[in-house]
Structure 1
Amino acid sequence: MKAAAFSVFGGPEVMRLMEVPDPHAGPGQVRVRVKAAGVQHYDCAIRGGWTPSYGVKVELPQIPGNEFAGIIDEIGDGVTGFELGSEVLGFALLNCYAEYVVVGADQIVEKPAGMTWEEAGGLTGNGQGAYMALEAIGVGPGDTVLINGAAGSLGSIAVQLAKAWGAETVIGTGSERNHDFIRSLGAIPVTYEEGLAERLRKLAPEGIDCTFDTAGGEGLDAAVALVPDKMRVCTFFAYDRIEELGLRIVRGDRSAARLAKLVELHAEGKLHLHIRQTFTLEQAGDAHRAIESRHGRGKIVLRVD
């Protein structure tokens, strides 16, 4: 099969289109013919030489990618609830930038007909990340919520989840060119620039209850200054500042049950994944350059077929 992989650690230029052996489903597993695979900063970190401390063994040449959507074409012994030809979306820790991926049957859910392949391929990672973060900081009815970096793939999902969970006011930081997009998600846009904390006080005179940070910088500093309970501030960006700022560490494993809830919200019209740009497998290096620029709005996805 064809796959986008790297044989040495380095920048986006090390990504290559390769021919690798076809994987096959074992007991409890399915093989999926991939139609789309999401691109995340996690993938870029792996490519750059970072190895997570849990559940991952990087072996060169390595295929990155941790979210996908496609069609089941092989089913291992003991799998129930899915059939050959089932359209699914799911997650893995590696190996999704490929024509085929093998995962456990507990790592996939059915793809609804109304969800595009690009949306399905890019939902799992950022969707579950945003869900875990907002759940950890207790977003709920009546809250005023700040999402720092609201136009990105992670932040834009977080805005929509906060609204779906009953937040009264959602404020989203972003570059001025992204303000219309942030408004379309249901949030009040505000720029990152100096003096952010004072502008936030004017926008939310009764205070900000909780914050999810995806961009660091001025937005995170403002959140720490304005949110009374630091356990209701979560960052998925400035990990090196968590201890210094006294914030909670949010970790968790992805699950099919949580993914199914996200799919349900999409079916209800409460969650939409904005696709910023699509690339082919051969263009995986370009996709990594695009996401590492940290500019733009929404999700970057590889189309595999």
Structure 2
Amino acid sequence: MGGSSSTTSRAVQFEAFGGPEALRIREVPAPQAGPGQIRVRVTAAGLNPMDWFMTSDPETATRFGLGLPCGFGTDYAGVVDQVGQGVREFAVGDRVFGGALSRSVADHVVVDVAGSTAAGGEAHRTPDGVDDHTAAALTIAGCTAAAALAVVNPGPGDTVLIGGAGGGVGVFAVQLARLAGARVIGTGSATSADALRSLGAEPVTYGQGLVDRVRALAPAGVSAGMDLHGTDTAQAARELGVSDERITTIAAQVDGITPANGANAAPGAIEEIAGLIAAGRLRVPIAARFPVEQIRAAVELQAGRHVHGKVVIDL
């Protein structure tokens, strides 16, 4: 055992499930690391659409195993400040990042060293050269993008159509597909075109006429599709002749198409992404940073779905 002995901690919580207006900052007893656990002093927490989706109403929350009072946020980064019995992998002072389902926006989070984001939380070492704001934006979006790539397996010679390319998962998926050697056409709003180009995608506006616009950009055809928003891009990929086994979705199900889930990302996928960032080969656009006192405004911005890049909370 070892580390700091804070007795209280701030945590963002729901006393009733609902929208951003239901979020409160509470003083709570500081959680303590038990056997096989570490406690992290959180410095930054990244927001994802799933955070507010899971907690929007009691039925959805129950489906994700969440009860009241409930924390908020999943992605975190910070410094280990307490180490439980039997833990050899981490020491007090280590910089770490990871996921802890619906409890990351807090001064302290306790995670199981052998856990997963959904069960007990997970922790990875933050590489030198990756700051905490970037590390706090990695786990959910990075694992989801890695899982989507594993389904369609893009490589040199492929032209990949990515729907919702400017969103939180899209910024990773576009760059990973480009690093794999593929050409990427990314859908987005007209205002996201420059952001998509900066990631290496050729922008195309979504909505009616998408198939024709993609044909004009890629007369030789498209060979893979990732729909990171709904089902429109998946259907467009089918119309463009892509076979079902080279199409994936993350936010909806389409019969015959394999969905991607970050929980199924290959072991080591997130460490690999962190390594690419440390090496300067992949970048994470941070669209906005908010102090924890402005959590409601941060969630409202993120939930508007028009932000290019990640929203991060400072603790």
Same fold (TM over 0.5): yes
Determine which of 277, 293, 304 is the counterpart of 1:282.
293
Counterparts in 2 of 1:206 and 1:255: CA distance versus 1, 3 Å: closer
Match of 2:258 in 1: 248
Counterparts in 2 of 1:158 and 1:92: CA distance versus 1, 3 Å: same
Counterparts in 2 of 1:35 and 1:292: CA distance versus 1, 3 Å: same
TM-score (norm: length of structure 2): 0.89
Determine which of 108, 111, 134 is the counterpart of 1:119.
134
Match of 1:100 in 2: 108
Counterparts in 2 of 1:117 and 1:212: CA distance versus 1, 3 Å: same
Determine which of 66, 74, 92 is the counterpart of 2:74.
66
C-alpha contact 1:31 1:101 (8 A) present in aligned 2: yes
Match of 2:157 in 1: 142
* Cα RMSD, aligned residues only: 1.7
C-alpha contact 1:16 1:282 (8 A) present in aligned 2: no
Structural mapping, 1:251-266, within 5 Å: 251=261, 252-253=263-264, 257-266=268-277
In 1, the alpha carbon distance for the partners of 2:67 and 2:204 equals 43
CA drift of 1:132 comes to: 0.5
In 2, the alpha carbon distance for the partners of 1:254 and 1:288 equals 26
Structural mapping, 1:176-187, within 5 Å: 176-187=190-201
Report whether the alignment pairs 1:159 with 2:170: no
CA drift of 1:256 comes to: 6.3
What SS does the aligned partner of 2:81 have? strand
Determine which of 38, 51, 73 is the counterpart of 2:61.
51
Match of 1:38 in 2: 46
Counterparts in 2 of 1:95 and 1:254: CA distance versus 1, 3 Å: farther
Determine which of 220, 229, 237 is the counterpart of 1:206.
220
Deviations along 1:155-194, whole A, 9 cap, x unmatched?
1110001011221x11111112111111111111111132
Structure 1 alignment gaps of length 5 or more: none
Structure 2 alignment gaps of length 5 or more: 1-8, 115-121
In 1, the alpha carbon distance for the partners of 2:303 and 2:25 equals 20
Q: By percentage of residues, which structure has more strand?
A: 2
In 2, the alpha carbon distance for the partners of 1:269 and 1:52 equals 40
In 1, the alpha carbon distance for the partners of 2:73 and 2:195 equals 27
C-alpha contact 1:109 1:256 (8 A) present in aligned 2: no
CA drift of 1:291 comes to: 1.5
Counterparts in 2 of 1:217 and 1:192: CA distance versus 1, 3 Å: farther
In 2, the alpha carbon distance for the partners of 1:133 and 1:52 equals 26
CA drift of 1:227 comes to: 4.0
In 2, the alpha carbon distance for the partners of 1:261 and 1:17 equals 34
What SS does the aligned partner of 1:118 have? helix
What SS does the aligned partner of 2:55 have? helix
C-alpha contact 1:70 1:87 (8 A) present in aligned 2: yes
Q: By percentage of residues, which structure has more helix?
A: 1
What SS does the aligned partner of 1:153 have? coil
Match of 1:78 in 2: 86
In percent, how many aligned pairs have the same letter? 40
In 2, the alpha carbon distance for the partners of 1:108 and 1:255 equals 16
Which amino acid in the other structure matches residue 190 of structure 1? V
CA drift of 1:34 comes to: 0.1
Higher RCO, 1 vs 2 (CA within 8 Å, ≥6 residues apart) = 1
What SS does the aligned partner of 1:48 have? coil
Report whether the alignment pairs 1:269 with 2:277: no
Determine which of 203, 210, 216 is the counterpart of 1:196.
210
Deviations along 1:222-270, whole A, 9 cap, x unmatched?
122114211211112233xx13xx3123333467622111111112222
CA drift of 1:52 comes to: 6.5
Match of 1:133 in 2: 148
Deviations along 1:194-221, whole A, 9 cap, x unmatched?
2110111121122111111122364343
Which amino acid in the other structure matches residue 272 of structure 2? K
Which amino acid in the other structure matches residue 231 of structure 1? E
TM-score (norm: length of structure 1): 0.92
CA drift of 1:142 comes to: 2.1
Determine which of 232, 239, 252 is the counterpart of 2:246.
232
Corresponding pairs, count: 297
Match of 2:230 in 1: 216
